[in-house]
Structure 1
Amino acid sequence: MAVPGSRQELLAAISTTFNRLWDDLASVPKVRAREASMQGHMAGSMMSPADLVAYLIGWNELVLKWLDRDDRGEAVDFPEMGFKWNELGPLAQKFYADHDALDWPERLERLRTVKEQLVSTISNRSDDELYGKGWYGKWTKGRMIQFNTASPYANARARIRKWLKAQECA
């Protein structure tokens, strides 16, 4: 898929990658959703499909936080307060823990809801705001959103498909 360069392309990338992922997540047996049997986000760690969904929720909520802080003229802590870009494994672990109390259906619903919130806020932004200037270093707001939504959806889909095949669920 081409790198989005406009609001419409970004929304299309998010929609396409999310819908494909969603279809595969529907194939995960509820009783196996918490099995830590796939490679985790930290070297040597294992995670479950439920952890992977928690990771996506965490990143989506983080993007919404970035946008909200920016809208209010507040400084944005990239990637998150207390974490550096070279500490994404521990950030992933935080996301798993943040959503541990949610069961599989609740996680899926939360993921769908936060994705819809992202689509809503992106829809209300201009191409110029999203792609007209750098936001984080050389990266535009649209590119930072894409890096942390559509790209992780595609990566998660590949992980889930590999897991489903290995577990003979597909």
Structure 2
Amino acid sequence: MPEKPNLIAKHINYKIATKVILSDIDLSVHRGEVLGVVGPNGAGKTSLLKILSGQVFCQGSVFWKQKDLKEYSEMQRAQQIAVVNQINDSVFSLNLQQIVRMGLLPHSSLISRATPDDTLRIAQALEKVGLTEKAQQTFSSLSGGEQQRGLIARALVQRADLIVLDEPVNHLDVYYQHQVLQ
């Protein structure tokens, strides 16, 4: 018996004011599958990704692991779905390691302390995106590409089963575009 898809979207319809952005979209994604959404600027790609990750709700249904996404609390969604948005504020006065550490928040309580395992996972994620030497640098002082790679490291640390990347290679040079897509 074939495995059921982890992500299912049915009859997605989304409009802003009177402008139709998305109309009757259906899709499904199985575990381990990669789905790319392509189209011209303004076609609704970012809107679709926000709907699929539970950042925006609309007409239609989105199911994650056979449960309506609306039934998940924000914390439960964050435990299941990591998101790297296309546009991120870079006005943080935090350093890169602190930004990446935020990926642990969905799995922590308010009084949790960092464990050696947490520190190791952060270091491994920073190494994976080639930013080990930038860990103590303030996030706002990093280049656009370094910030993007740092946010991808945060998503990796989050341990989510679904990672939604909107324009993941934005600001990256060819070497890191290839690395991220791998």
> Does TM, normalized by the shorter one, top 0.5?
no
Scaled by the length of structure 1, the TM-score of the pair is 0.26
* Structure of higher CA gyration radius: 2
Higher share of residues assigned strand: 2
Higher share of residues assigned helix: 1
